[in-house]
Chains A and B, each alone.
Chain A
Amino acid sequence: MSSRNKLARRPKLEGEGFFGRFGYFFARAVANLRQNVLVSALTIGTISLSLLIIALFLLVYVNLEKVADTWSEKVQLTAFFQNELSADEFATLKGRIASLGGTEKIIYVSKNDAMKRFRARLKGQETFLEGVVPDVLPAAIEISLNKNSRNSEAVDSYASRLKRIPGITEVQYGEEWVRRFNTFLTFMRLVGALVGGFLILAGLFIVSNTIKLTIYARKDELEVLGLVGATRFFIKAPFLIEGIIQGAAGGLVALLALAACYFGFLHNAGNFLSFNITAAGLSFLPVTYLAAIFAGGIFVGFIGSLTSLKRFITI
């Protein structure tokens, strides 16, 4: 009977259940951020700087990849014939070439087309071509390969399959250039992965240590909560929400700073530096990358808080 009375006197819990408690934890996290403005600003600043450095690296890397992609379109095979092809012959041949795996585009260059190109290249010195008739130039088919078939091995294999098609007398594709270009791509990706990996690790290290220091500065709070009977979840939850808020704010600040850098001067950096690496200048990061940077901020804020709390919560 007495225990029933005790239960009846027990004050009603505010917001029973997960969402009720979440409201409390969120309000506590926001209050904590307000009460520790400087420390919070330091954490947000560190997260945003680390993410900005990574974002700038990505911006450069993505643009280099784009340039490499443009260059890779020059990986082209040219198949020559002794005689001009009739429309029917070209259609048959085109079908056979298209059936070879990796073909992206096939263009027929007639003897007349070849002559026109030659003339265009010798612009201003056309006198050299006096007396030369189109018949001396061979008809050809230019074949572009799709993205996955532009490496040295794939191009070699494609060329040997192409040579086996009857009627094709010669295949040219600048083996040495393709090999060098692929070596350059491999090197660029390797350096990119190394530098990117290093930047991400350095960023994680700096951010996690900053969060660790900020939580260490509040270890009395953790101790007091433990003394009054808070469970580990109760102690952790507001800190984790704080970490997420700080991470999201850091991510947002980094994206704003990136946009400011880009639209301020980087978008026309090609012209500015007299180094026009792409015709359209530098392009901004794709939305998926921006989302990943924002999500990275949230992730690092959450994980940094979680790992630091493990160290300082003694119950």
Chain B
Amino acid sequence: MIQLHNVSLAYQNDMAALNNVSLKVPKGDFIFLTGQSGAGKSTLLKLLYGALDPTQGQVVIDGQNISRLSRSQIPLLRRKVGVVFQDFKLLPQRTVLENVAVTLEVLGWGKKDIGKKVYHILKQMGLEHKINSSPLRLSGGEQQRIALARALVNDPKILLADEPTGNLDEENKEQILAIFKEANIRGTTVIVATHDRRAIENSHRRVVVLEKGRIVEDSDVVAE
């Protein structure tokens, strides 16, 4: 369960990026965060993986107030949270295998186990034949699937995605959204920040709309 209680966040000498935001995301839920650029979507995601601390309020994940975590506890939180970005953030000098393996190396897995697990997830993504390729030789859609494989390879409890389809064509968008749905079916809580209206409308999932740092619409709340 993810809970935000009256969360506000202001960057230095700037207006509030988030203003008194309260949100509950039950375990295994799939929600879309939407709104215009600068609405606070990325900021909200950053709070959830401990990259930012709220100026006010509390961010609670599985009963743990993450703004109270020490610096040494942040990595432990991030091992439960997979993150993907619009620009993929793959390491160009490493192979596909090495890019995905990094998540498991951090956990201390052995080489053999890493090899098996990475092959397995790449097969799910339909990219097992690219295992020794450089990410630079892959298409945008393929790169995003590698980034997703890296985020999902350790079966995280939560998957956060910041504009994951922003750089992709329609066919690749659908593939990526299908992977999100599969992860969600396996029990991962998925939060996708996007302003892709079509993807949101076709998914029939909960939609939270942000505007100038405030939640102005929550499809779950409306339904209630």
Taking a contact as CB atoms under 8 Å apart, the answer to whether B75 and A315 are in contact is yes
Q: Which of A24, A228, A232 has the most CB of B within 10 A?
A: A228
Q: Does A130 contact B (CB under 8 A)?
A: no
Q: Which B residues are CB-close (under 8 A) to A228?
A: 78-79, 102-103, 106, 150
- Output the nearest chain B residue to A228 by Cβ-Cβ distance: B103
Return the CB mask of B181-194 against A: 1 if under 8 Å, else 0: 00000000000000
Q: Chain A's nearest CB lies how many Å from the CB of B104?
A: 8
Query: How big is the A interface, by class?
Result: 20 to 34
Taking a contact as CB atoms under 8 Å apart, the answer to whether B108 and A220 are in contact is no
Q: Does A273 contact B (CB under 8 A)?
A: no
Taking a contact as CB atoms under 8 Å apart, the answer to whether A14 and B102 are in contact is no
Q: How far is the CA of A116 from the CA of B150 in the complex (A)?
A: 93
Taking a contact as CB atoms under 8 Å apart, the answer to whether B106 and A13 are in contact is no
Q: Which B residues are CB-close (under 8 A) to A224?
A: 89-91, 102
Taking a contact as CB atoms under 8 Å apart, the answer to whether A234 and B106 are in contact is yes
Return the CB mask of B93-110 against A: 1 if under 8 Å, else 0: 110001000110111111
Q: How far is the CA of A220 from the CA of B135 in the complex (A)?
A: 14
Q: How far is the CA of A227 from the CA of B79 in the complex (A)?
A: 8
Q: Does B15 contact A (CB under 8 A)?
A: no
Taking a contact as CB atoms under 8 Å apart, the answer to whether A315 and B150 are in contact is no
Q: Which of A21, A35, A36, A223 has the most CB of B within 10 A?
A: A35
Given contacts A224-B102, A226-B78, A229-B75, contact A14 B110 (CB under 8 A): yes
Q: Does A154 contact B (CB under 8 A)?
A: no
B75 touches which one: A14, A220, A221, A230 (CB < 8 A)? A230
Taking a contact as CB atoms under 8 Å apart, the answer to whether B113 and A220 are in contact is no
Q: How far is the CA of A315 from the CA of B79 in the complex (A)?
A: 13
Q: Which A residues are CB-close (under 8 A) to B74?
A: 315
Q: Does B198 contact A (CB under 8 A)?
A: no
Q: Does B129 contact A (CB under 8 A)?
A: no
- Output the nearest chain A residue to B147 by Cβ-Cβ distance: A224
Q: Which A residues are CB-close (under 8 A) to B77?
A: 229
- Output the nearest chain A residue to B99 by Cβ-Cβ distance: A224
Given contacts A11-B109, A14-B108, contact A225 B78 (CB under 8 A): no
Q: Chain B's nearest CB lies how many Å from the CB of A33?
A: 11
Return the CB mask of A7-18 against B: 1 if under 8 Å, else 0: 000011111100
Q: Which A residues are CB-close (under 8 A) to B91?
A: 220-221, 224
Q: Chain B's nearest CB lies how many Å from the CB of A18?
A: 13
Taking a contact as CB atoms under 8 Å apart, the answer to whether B105 and A13 are in contact is no
Taking a contact as CB atoms under 8 Å apart, the answer to whether B89 and A14 are in contact is no
Q: Does B216 contact A (CB under 8 A)?
A: no
Q: Does B72 contact A (CB under 8 A)?
A: yes
Q: How far is the CA of A35 from the CA of B136 in the complex (A)?
A: 14
Q: How far is the CA of A148 from the CA of B181 in the complex (A)?
A: 84
Taking a contact as CB atoms under 8 Å apart, the answer to whether A229 and B76 are in contact is yes
Return the CB mask of A230-264 against B: 1 if under 8 Å, else 0: 11101000000000000000000000000000000
Q: How far is the CA of A230 from the CA of B78 in the complex (A)?
A: 8
Q: How far is the CA of A227 from the CA of B50 in the complex (A)?
A: 9
Q: Does B17 contact A (CB under 8 A)?
A: no
Q: How far is the CA of A229 from the CA of B89 in the complex (A)?
A: 15
Given contacts A12-B113, A315-B71, contact A230 B89 (CB under 8 A): no
Q: Chain A's nearest CB lies how many Å from the CB of B100?
A: 10
Q: Does B111 contact A (CB under 8 A)?
A: yes
- Output the nearest chain B residue to A230 by Cβ-Cβ distance: B106
- Output the nearest chain B residue to A36 by Cβ-Cβ distance: B93
- Output the nearest chain A residue to B90 by Cβ-Cβ distance: A224
- Output the nearest chain A residue to B49 by Cβ-Cβ distance: A227
Q: How far is the CA of A31 from the CA of B55 in the complex (A)?
A: 41
Q: Which B residues are CB-close (under 8 A) to A314?
A: 51
Q: Does B176 contact A (CB under 8 A)?
A: no
Q: Chain A's nearest CB lies how many Å from the CB of B177?
A: 22
Q: Chain A's nearest CB lies how many Å from the CB of B224?
A: 33
Taking a contact as CB atoms under 8 Å apart, the answer to whether B89 and A225 are in contact is no
Interface residues of B in 112-131 (CB under 8 A from A): 113, 117
Q: Which B residues are CB-close (under 8 A) to A14?
A: 108-111, 113
Taking a contact as CB atoms under 8 Å apart, the answer to whether A13 and B75 are in contact is no
Q: Which B residues are CB-close (under 8 A) to A21?
A: 108
Interface residues of B in 129-158 (CB under 8 A from A): 150
Q: List 11 A-B contacts (CB under 8 A).
A: A11-B117, A21-B108, A24-B105, A28-B105, A224-B102, A228-B106, A229-B75, A229-B76, A229-B78, A315-B50, A315-B75
Given contacts A24-B105, A315-B75, 17 further A-B contacts (CB under 8 A): A11-B110, A14-B111, A14-B113, A15-B110, A28-B105, A220-B89, A223-B89, A227-B78, A227-B83, A227-B89, A228-B78, A228-B106, A228-B150, A229-B75, A229-B76, A229-B77, A315-B71
- Going nearest first, the 8 A-B pairs with the smallest beta carbon separation are A14-B110, A229-B79, A229-B78, A35-B93, A11-B113, A13-B108, A228-B103, A230-B106
